């Protein structure tokens, strides 16, 4: 059994002056029944996070028609999909590996997170759940699926140790990205970050974004407190491409760094170590309907 208390979360909460003993991971059990099971069965996309070769954390997406992800029982989630060819996690989701999952429904701005361990099951995955929790809709943009392209495979994966100019522009015009983290004692986690286009900036090999007020669980930052390895995923919602990065994450607690960023409580920084871009990695094509009314305006420090 994993420890109930998450010392990383508690450390971040103390420094932030939020939460407290028992707030965060200890609040959630492994139960997939009821509304969670029904929600999962309606989804066409999941975000996954896990450690790959050498302990590097990667975040990716899988997709299918509704029903491709389904609860087999109270603690088993079946996923009839694997990451795209060329994805760093495709061949590294081995039996017993920690896996974080985010089930996100942009059209209704609902999401749940599932953390557990994975077993390969033919051309898909079986996940034994350890934590299941709902998240609020704050900072989620409203999108709807306009096309689901069956039979269109991904393009060739392009790997690098640095960001190209078009990739930097992709990041700096994004309104959403996903972050994966992992603590050796507490498992992997996949989470969402959203804001107005431009809320993420790039300076050389370093990405920065404001950390807005949330639920005070600090699951991501709690993991990073214990192990700075993290993975980011940016989606090309219009064309299905993915931009994945693995590297090291840290929190800048200096209040002066956040002072010029509306809504920021602190700033999070991520140093890029490896980059993978895959055209058409997802068969889904989305249309933006509205940005979240909770998004603070974009500012510069």
Q: What is the pLDDT of residues 206-227, one digit of tens each?
A: 999 999 998 888 999 999 999 9
- Whether 185 and 3 have beta carbons less than 8 Å apart is answered as yes
Report pLDDT digits (tens) over 148-173.
Answer: 998 888 999 999 999 999 999 999 99
Residue 30 is encoded by which pair of tokens? 């492994």
Residue 192: which of 125, 112, 129 has the closest Cα? 112
Which pLDDT score is estimated for 272?
Answer: 98
**What predicted TM-score, i.e. pTM, was given to this entire model?**
0.96
Helix ranges restricted to H, the chain: 7-16, 35-41, 165-172, 219-226, 255-258
3-state DSSP of 124-167: EEEEEEEEEEEECCCCCCEEEEEEECCCCCCCCCEEECCCCHHH
Q: Where does the pLDDT of residue 197 fall: very low under 50, low under 70, confident under 90, or very high at 90 and above?
A: very high
**Core vs surface per residue 273-286: b (16+ CB within 10 A) or e:** ebbbbbbbbbbbbb
Mean pLDDT lowest among 1-15, 39-53, 94-108, 179-193 = 1-15
Contact 154, 290 (CB under 8 A): no
> Binning pLDDT at 50, 70 and 90, where does residue 180 land?
very high
Strand arrangement, sheet containing 57-63 = 57-63, 45-51, 97-105, 110-121, 124-135, 76-79, 69-73
With a cut of 90, say whether residue 105 has pLDDT above it.
Answer: yes
pLDDT of 203 above 90 = yes
The token pair that represents 145 in the structure block:
């699926």
pLDDT computed for residue 300 by the predictor: 61
Beta bridge partners of 284: 148
pLDDT tens across 44-100, in order?
A: 999 999 998 889 999 999 999 999 999 999 999 999 999 999 999 998 898 999 999
Q: What is the pLDDT of residues 132-142, one digit of tens each?
A: 998 889 999 99
pLDDT at 301 over 60: no
> What DSSP state is assigned to residue 109?
T
- Between residues 59 and 121, which one has the greater pLDDT? 59
| pLDDT, tens only, 254-294 | 999 999 999 999 999 999 999 999 999 999 999 999 999 99
pLDDT score of 39: 95
- What span, in angstroms and rounded, lies between the C-alpha atoms of 135 and 191? 10
**Which of 88, 245, 243 lies closest to 180, judged by CA?**
245
pLDDT at 269 (0 to 100): 98
Q: What is the CATH number of domain 7-290?
A: 2.30.110.10
Cα–Cα dist 112/143, whole Å: 17
Give me the residues paired with residue 234 across strands. Answer: 243
Report CA torsion sign: 271, 274, 279, 281. Answer: negative
* Closest C-alpha among 229, 112, 222 to residue 180: 229
What pLDDT shows up at residue 73?
94
Q: For residue 179, what are its two tokens?
A: 């972050």
- Given a cut of 90, whether residue 250 has pLDDT beyond it is yes
Q: How high is the pLDDT of residue 1? A: 58
Average pLDDT, the chain: 94
């Amino acid at each position: 059994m994993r420890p109930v208390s998450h010392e990383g979360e508690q450390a971040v909460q103390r420094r932030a002056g939020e939460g407290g003993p028992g707030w965060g991971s200890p609040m959630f059990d492994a139960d997939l029944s009821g509304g969670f099971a029904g929600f999962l069965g309606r989804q066409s996309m999941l975000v996954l996070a896990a450690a790959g070769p050498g302990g590097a954390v990667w975040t990716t997406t899988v997709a299918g028609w509704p029903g491709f992800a389904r609860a087999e029982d109270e603690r088993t989630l079946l996923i009839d999909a694997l990451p795209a060819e060329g994805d760093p996690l495709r061949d590294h989701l081995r039996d017993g590996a920690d896996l974080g999952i985010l089930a996100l429904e942009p059209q209704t701005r609902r999401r749940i997170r599932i953390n557990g361990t994975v077993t390969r099951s033919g051309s898909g995955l079986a996940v034994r759940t350890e934590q299941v929790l709902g998240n609020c809709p704050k900072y989620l943009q409203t999108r709807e699926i306009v096309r689901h392209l069956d039979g269109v495979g991904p393009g060739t994966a392009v790997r690098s140790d640095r960001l190209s100019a078009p990739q930097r522009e992709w990041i700096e015009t994004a309104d959403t990205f996903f972050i994966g983290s992992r603590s050796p004692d507490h498992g992997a986690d996949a989470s969402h970050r959203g804001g107005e286009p431009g809320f993420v900036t790039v300076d050389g090999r370093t990405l920065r974004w404001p950390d807005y007020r949330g639920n005070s669980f600090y699951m991501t930052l709690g993991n990073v407190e214990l192990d700075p390895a993290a993975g980011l995923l940016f989606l090309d919602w219009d064309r299905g491409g993915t931009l994945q990065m693995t590297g090291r994450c840290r929190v800048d607690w200096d209040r002066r760094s956040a002072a010029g960023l509306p809504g920021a409580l602190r700033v999070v920084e991520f140093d890029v170590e490896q980059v993978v871009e895959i055209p058409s990695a997802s068969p889904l094509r989305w249309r933006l309907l509205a940005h979240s009314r909770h998004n603070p305006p974009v500012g510069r420090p």
